[in-house]
């Protein structure tokens, strides 16, 4: 009996596919990528993620453009492929650098469980966990230049943009804090320190933000039982400011010989300091104080929005993290802040499609700190008079 019609063609196609698979596996083992990585990778996605098609498919999976994704891959590729590993798909295919970045970004951005991410991408749970942690380690080192304190002309540009918002002169940043909620066993007495004022287990993230919602300084790792003021006072940033090593740039002259130094704006949960201005408190405030508060609130809105955007884009922080490693969590938070900045630095259009909210700590009440420095009270008063037109030209 002769061969069935089309059998030779089928065998040729299978042979070609086998060669292509072998070539792709070899390229992955060498840290290389196929000519169109996404076209190949998207075919391997299963479950609900596999149902979306078209040009927006990539953004729907990773919440960023392919340009940003490729840049992130370029940062960590050497580290991911530099160490021997046995990371493979369930079908035995070796995970390339892009594959590993895809798994890690999906885990961080979706907040889905290790099992769900693994099922979507065809890898087991332990691989998702290990790949994500290796990615975090690489980004800590390779991406940290995206999160730094500005100086020189960059700082002058930041101050000008803050002044454009609502007229506050010489403002260098807005500070705020948020809680990363965790699920920890209450039977462990050592976990009581993590219980915050809302009776949840959480870790605090303090962030100083520029006008474009870029993180310029962060502090994390402290338990939720600590107030925003105590977290600030425990930070290296506080020590730098108190010793005159930061926020020590040129003063801005106001009418009538007054001056205003460089400063941050923060809410009532922070102390009023010469370098940290908080709003006036009380009812029936004088017009100048009320006007200052309006401008102050509008200016520090960028910090609230930045933290809300962080939690929206990196949904691993939404809800309650299930028994996280409290030593690794601060490093995961740092990397997500770096990724947040990269999306801004690369002007990724995907960020404009995310909702813009100021609610990053829903259910948490406003904290209050009663400490106020005498010199800071005087500086705030003069600034409020200037903003309300009370000082002579």
Which pLDDT score, from 0 to 100, does residue 43 have?
82
Between residues 176 and 354, which one has the greater pLDDT?
Answer: 176
Are residues 320 and 287 located together in one domain of the fold? yes
Are residues 59 and 79 located together in one domain of the fold? yes
- Write the burial class of residue 250 (CB in 10 Å: 0-12 exposed, 13-18 middle, 19+ buried): exposed
> Pick from 113, 142, 171: which residue ends a domain?
142
Are residues 93 and 241 located together in one domain of the fold? no
Are residues 219 and 308 located together in one domain of the fold? yes
Nearest to 172 by CA among 230, 247, 122: 247
- Looking at every residue in the chain, the average pLDDT score rounds to 88
Question: 45-88, pLDDT tens digit by residue?
Answer: 877 777 655 445 888 889 999 999 999 999 999 999 887 677 88
> Pick from 142, 162, 181: which residue ends a domain?
142
Which pLDDT score, from 0 to 100, does residue 106 have?
96
Are residues 273 and 124 located together in one domain of the fold? no
Cα–Cα dist 329/260, whole Å? 38
Nearest to 206 by CA among 239, 228, 225, 180: 228
Tokens of 169: 């002169």
The pLDDT of 234-261, averaged and rounded, is: 94
Cα–Cα dist 337/236, whole Å? 18
Which pLDDT score, from 0 to 100, does residue 126 have?
94
Tokens of 390: 């009370």
62 found inside a domain: yes
Per DSSP, the three-state class of 222 is strand
Which pLDDT score, from 0 to 100, does residue 227 have?
97
| pLDDT of 91 above 70 | yes
Strand pairing of 252-253 and 171-183? Answer: unpaired
52 found inside a domain: yes
Most confident of 87-91, 255-259, 316-320, 364-368: 364-368
Are residues 56 and 160 located together in one domain of the fold? no
Q: Which of 13-22, 132-141, 166-175, 198-207 has the lowest mean pLDDT?
A: 13-22
151: which strand partners? none
Domain span at residue 123? 32-142
> Pick from 142, 162, 189: which residue ends a domain?
142
Are residues 65 and 174 located together in one domain of the fold? no
Are residues 222 and 370 located together in one domain of the fold? yes
186 found inside a domain: yes
- Give the total number of structural domains in the chain: 2
Q: Which of 36-45, 48-57, 108-117, 266-275 has the lowest mean pLDDT?
A: 48-57
In which band, very low, low, confident or very high, does the pLDDT at 17 lie, cut at 50, 70 and 90? very low
5 found inside a domain: no
Which pLDDT score, from 0 to 100, does residue 354 have?
81
Are residues 132 and 197 located together in one domain of the fold? no
The pLDDT of 266-286, averaged and rounded, is: 96
Rg (CA), the chain: 25
Cα–Cα dist 300/288, whole Å? 18
Cα–Cα dist 343/146, whole Å? 10
Name residue, tokens 């290790």.
Answer: 114
43 found inside a domain: yes
Are residues 174 and 268 located together in one domain of the fold? yes
226 found inside a domain: yes
Tokens of 94: 């070796």
Are residues 353 and 279 located together in one domain of the fold? yes
Nearest to 335 by CA among 162, 189, 204, 140: 140
Percentage with pLDDT > 90 across the chain: 70
Residue 241 CB partners (closer than 8 Å, separation 6+): 247, 273, 275, 276
Cα–chain center distance at 318? 13
26 found inside a domain: no
Which pLDDT score, from 0 to 100, does residue 29 have?
42
Are residues 172 and 239 located together in one domain of the fold? yes
pTM strictly above 0.85: yes
160 found inside a domain: yes
Between residues 319 and 147, which one has the greater pLDDT?
Answer: 147
| pLDDT of 8 above 60 | no
């Amino acid at each position: 009996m002769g061969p069935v019609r089309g059998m030779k063609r089928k065998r040729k196609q299978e042979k070609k596919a086998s060669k292509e698979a072998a070539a792709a596996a070899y390229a992955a083992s060498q840290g290389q990528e196929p000519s169109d990585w996404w076209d190949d990778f998207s075919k391997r996605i299963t479950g609900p993620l596999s149902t979306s098609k078209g040009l927006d498919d990539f953004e729907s999976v990773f919440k960023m453009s392919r340009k940003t994704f490729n840049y992130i891959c370029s940062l960590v590729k050497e580290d991911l492929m530099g160490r021997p590993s046995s990371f493979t798909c369930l079908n035995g295919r070796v995970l390339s650098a892009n594959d590993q970045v895809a798994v890690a970004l999906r885990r961080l951005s979706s907040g889905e469980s290790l099992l769900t991410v693994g099922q979507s991408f065809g890898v087991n749970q332990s691989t998702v966990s290990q790949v994500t942690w290796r990615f975090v380690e690489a980004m800590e080192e390779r991406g940290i230049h995206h999160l730094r304190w500005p100086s020189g002309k960059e700082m002058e540009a930041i101050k000008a943009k803050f002044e454009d918002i609502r007229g506050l002169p010489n403002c260098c940043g807005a500070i705020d804090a948020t809680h990363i909620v965790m699920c920890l066993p209450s039977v462990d007495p050592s976990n009581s320190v993590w219980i915050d004022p809302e009776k949840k287990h959480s870790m605090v993230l303090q962030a100083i933000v520029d006008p474009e919602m870029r993180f310029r300084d962060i502090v994390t790792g402290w338990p939720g039982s600590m107030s925003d003021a105590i977290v600030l006072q425990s930070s290296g940033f506080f020590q730098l400011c108190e010793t005159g090593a930061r926020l020590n740039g040129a003063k801005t002259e106001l009418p009538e010989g007054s001056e205003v130094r460089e400063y941050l704006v923060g809410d009532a949960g922070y102390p009023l300091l010469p370098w940290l201005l908080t709003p006036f408190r009380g009812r029936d405030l004088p017009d100048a104080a009320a006007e200052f508060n309006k401008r102050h609130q509008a200016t520090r809105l960028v910090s609230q929005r930045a933290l809300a955007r962080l939690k929206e884009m990196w949904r691993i922080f939404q809800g309650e993290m299930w028994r996280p490693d409290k030593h690794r969590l601060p490093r995961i938070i740092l990397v997500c802040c770096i990724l947040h900045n990269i999306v801004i630095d690369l002007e990724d259009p995907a960020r404009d499609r995310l909702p813009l909210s100021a609610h990053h700590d829903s259910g948490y009440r406003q904290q209050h700190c009663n400490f106020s420095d005498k010199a800071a009270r005087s500086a705030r008063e003069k600034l409020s008079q200037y903003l309300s037109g009370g000082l002579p030209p």
